[in-house]
Amino acid sequence: MAYFLSVAETCGLNVILALSVYATFMVGQFSLAQVGFWSIGAYTTGILIALYGFPLLPSLLISAVLCAVIGLIVGYPCLRIRGIYLAMATVAFSEVVRVFFNNFELKIPVGGLVLGPGGPLGFRGIPVVTRWPQILVAFVLLIALFAWLERSRIGLAVKSIREDEIAAACAGINVVAMKVGTFAFGAAIAAIGGGMYATYVSSVTPDNFGFHLALISIFFVAVGGSERFIGPVIGAVVLTVLPDLLRFAGDFRMVLYGIIVLAITVAFPRGIDGVWTTLAHRMRETRPLPVAHAGRS
């Protein structure tokens, strides 16, 4: 039972990461910066709780606001560039954050112990204050938020930007504000997720948040589907449970994991959420053959 609970908890945390990636993806932006915000959130929350004795909720909110502000500052110049260029810039951002924490030391004696981030050795001894109830609350709130957002005017505006930016601008939507806004929004969600992650596992190192995690976070969205918010949720859950189902493969578990991600993406480029539309599209493509050819015996 404890095992299933821990898988469910990890699923919940990964759903938060996936939704933070999706938040910028909604406007058609492709960002790998979420991992950077995730680690900023993890460290900020960890420092506030472990070193200054803050409770969980205020520290998460402070982390979220901090990352939203950084998101605005980074996002404004970044979002003037698009597509591949943005992906590169956001990779650069995440790597700079990682290197920063690799060189960041802040040791403070707390109750007889010296705690705090210790460069490449990481940050140990963060109090474990996030358990399944907190994750469940965050999960439900986020799902509700995204469900509301998708049906709201903002959701419509966001969708129209993804479909056709110029048309959206012509319809009076402030494209740049929308893009920067969703970027900061995604950053805040990532910060909350990172903060919960840090207070769940109790120790983080800068190498937890490398390029690898950035790719995995994109896998969540791509495998699940990027058209509705439910896609990343499915993707995160499937790809969190998958390594546990593949235990029989032993050391080659992650190889098999990669093969399955590859196979799903090749078979269903729209993700699991888009399976039905992909299949329907294929059915339509294979038109019945003309009688003259079909009747050849």
Partner 1 sequence: MIVVENLIGGLLFGATYSLVAIGFTLIFGVLNRLNIAHGATIMVAAFAGAYVSLRLGGHTSFAILALAFAASVITGGVVGMLVWLVAFAPLRKASPLAPFVTSAAVALILEELFVQVSRRVPLFSPEFSSFPSPLEDLAFNVGPIFIRGAYMVIFIVAAALMALLHWLITKSSMGRAIRAVEENPTVSWLLGINVRKVELTVFAAASAIAGAAGCLVGVSTGTVAPSMGANLLLTGFVIIVLAGLGSLYGAMICGLLVGMIEMTIVGVVSASMKEAVLFIILFAVLVVRPQGLFAKFAAQRD
Instruction: Pick from 99, 113, 141, 144 the residue near partner 1 by CB under 8 A.
Output: 99
Q: At what angle do helices 175-201 and 153-163 cross, to 10 degrees?
A: 110
Total Cβ atoms within 10 A of residue 57 = 10
Total Cβ atoms within 10 A of residue 259 = 12
Instruction: Pick from 222, 237, 238, 272 the residue near partner 1 by CB under 8 A.
Output: 222
Instruction: Pick from 56, 61, 82, 154 the residue near partner 1 by CB under 8 A.
Output: 82
* CA terminus-to-terminus distance, the chain: 61
Token pair of 78, please?
A: 């970044």
Task: Answer yes or no whether residue 84 interacts with partner 1 by CB under 8 A.
Answer: yes
| Nearest to partner 1 of 33, 196 (CB atom) | 33
Q: Which stretch binds partner 1 (CB under 8 A): 54-62, 134-142, 149-157, 217-225?
A: 217-225
Instruction: Pick from 137, 140, 254, 280 the residue near partner 1 by CB under 8 A.
Output: 254
As to burial, measured by CB atoms within 10 angstroms (0-12 exposed, 13-18 middle, 19+ buried), residue 55 is: exposed
Q: Which stretch binds partner 1 (CB under 8 A): 6-14, 99-107, 149-157, 184-192?
A: 99-107
Instruction: Pick from 154, 175, 230, 275 the residue near partner 1 by CB under 8 A.
Output: 175
As to burial, measured by CB atoms within 10 angstroms (0-12 exposed, 13-18 middle, 19+ buried), residue 7 is: middle
Task: Answer yes or no whether residue 215 interacts with partner 1 by CB under 8 A.
Answer: yes
* Rounded (10°) CA dihedral 152, 156, 159, 164: -160
Q: Which stretch binds partner 1 (CB under 8 A): 64-72, 148-156, 191-199, 211-219?
A: 211-219
Token pair of 254, please?
A: 């992650």
| Nearest to partner 1 of 202, 265 (CB atom) | 265
Q: Which stretch binds partner 1 (CB under 8 A): 10-18, 46-54, 109-117, 215-223?
A: 215-223
Token pair of 11, please?
A: 């699923």
Evaluate whether 23 touches 145 at the Cβ level (below 8 Å). no
What are φ and ψ of residue 117, in 5° steps?
-65, 135
Task: Answer yes or no whether residue 104 interacts with partner 1 by CB under 8 A.
Answer: no
Residues in contact with partner 1 by CB under 8 A are 30, 77-85, 87-89, 91-93, 95-96, 99-100, 102-103, 120, 175-176, 211-212, 215, 218-219, 221-223, 226, 251-252, 254-255, 257-259, 261-262, 265-266, 269
